[in-house]
């Protein structure tokens, strides 16, 4: 599920890291058997993949990981590992994680961890170390003058928080900062790279 890619040029994608297998599944209770050949093909291609019964938990796990790292990595212009080395950035990541857990709980979603503290321990001890040198896709997009996926990450957390009445000030601030970076790129007359 934790897989990093870089796009050094158009039509070229390099896998830079995979800290866990890719999980395939259905959010709607569909038959999972037809997904097995796809998981096998991905695994044969060099990235472990498996079919799982509760992929929704995995999606929220990915949301926690990406929202904690991608915006900050882009704003500070650093790889993931640098964010864990300084208490100021760790405090921001921990606030982001806490807000996402509050939104998930209020919206009735679950992930693999019961509490923010339980997730934080796994995040710092197991998930972050293998990806420490990875540069976020958000930073890669900013550098390439492209639109980022911030709407699907922090933007989605902020919108869901508004729907369920949970404030998300840290996620909202980082969302606005990345949107500023995108707008600055576009207003500089350099296009969106697409």
Helix (H, G, I), strand (E, B) or coil at 193: coil
DSSP string over 130-156: GGTTPPPHHHHHHHTT---STIIIIIH
Say if residues 59 and 87 touch (Cβ distance below 8 Å): no
Q: Which residue has the tokens 């599944």?
A: 25
DSSP string, 69-123: HHHHHHHHT--HHHHHSSHHHHHHHHHHHHHHHHHHHHHT---S-SSHHHHHHHI
The one catalytic residue in 62, 105, 146, 179 is 62
Torsion of CA 94, 100, 103, 106, to 10 degrees: -80
What's the Cα-to-Cα distance from 51 to each of 26, 130, 187, rounded to whole Å? 9, 23, 43
Give residue for tokens 């900062």: 177
Q: Is 62 one of the catalytic residues?
A: yes
Longest dimension (CA), the chain: 49
Q: Which residues are catalytic?
A: 62
């Amino acid at each position: 599920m934790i897989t990093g890619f870089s796009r050094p040029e158009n039509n070229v994608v390099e896998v830079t890291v995979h800290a866990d297998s890719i999980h395939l599944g259905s959010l709607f209770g569909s038959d999972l058997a037809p997904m097995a050949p796809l998981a096998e093909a991905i695994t044969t291609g060099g990235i472990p993949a498996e079919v799982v019964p509760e992929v929704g938990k995995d999606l929220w796990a990915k949301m926690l990981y990406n929202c904690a790292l991608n915006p900050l990595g882009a704003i500070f212009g650093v790889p993931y590992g640098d964010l864990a080395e300084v208490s100021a950035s760790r405090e921001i990541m921990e606030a982001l994680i806490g807000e996402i857990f509050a939104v998930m709980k209020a919206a009735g979603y679950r992930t693999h961890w019961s509490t923010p503290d339980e997730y934080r321990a796994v995040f710092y001890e197991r998930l972050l170390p293998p990806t420490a040198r990875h540069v976020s896709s958000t930073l890669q997009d900013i550098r390439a003058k492209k639109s980022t996926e911030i709407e699907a990450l922090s933007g989605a957390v902020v919108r869901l928080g508004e729907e369920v009445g949970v404030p998300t000030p840290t996620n909202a601030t980082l969302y606005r900062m990345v949107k500023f970076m995108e707008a600055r790129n576009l207003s500089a007359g350099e296009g969106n790279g697409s």
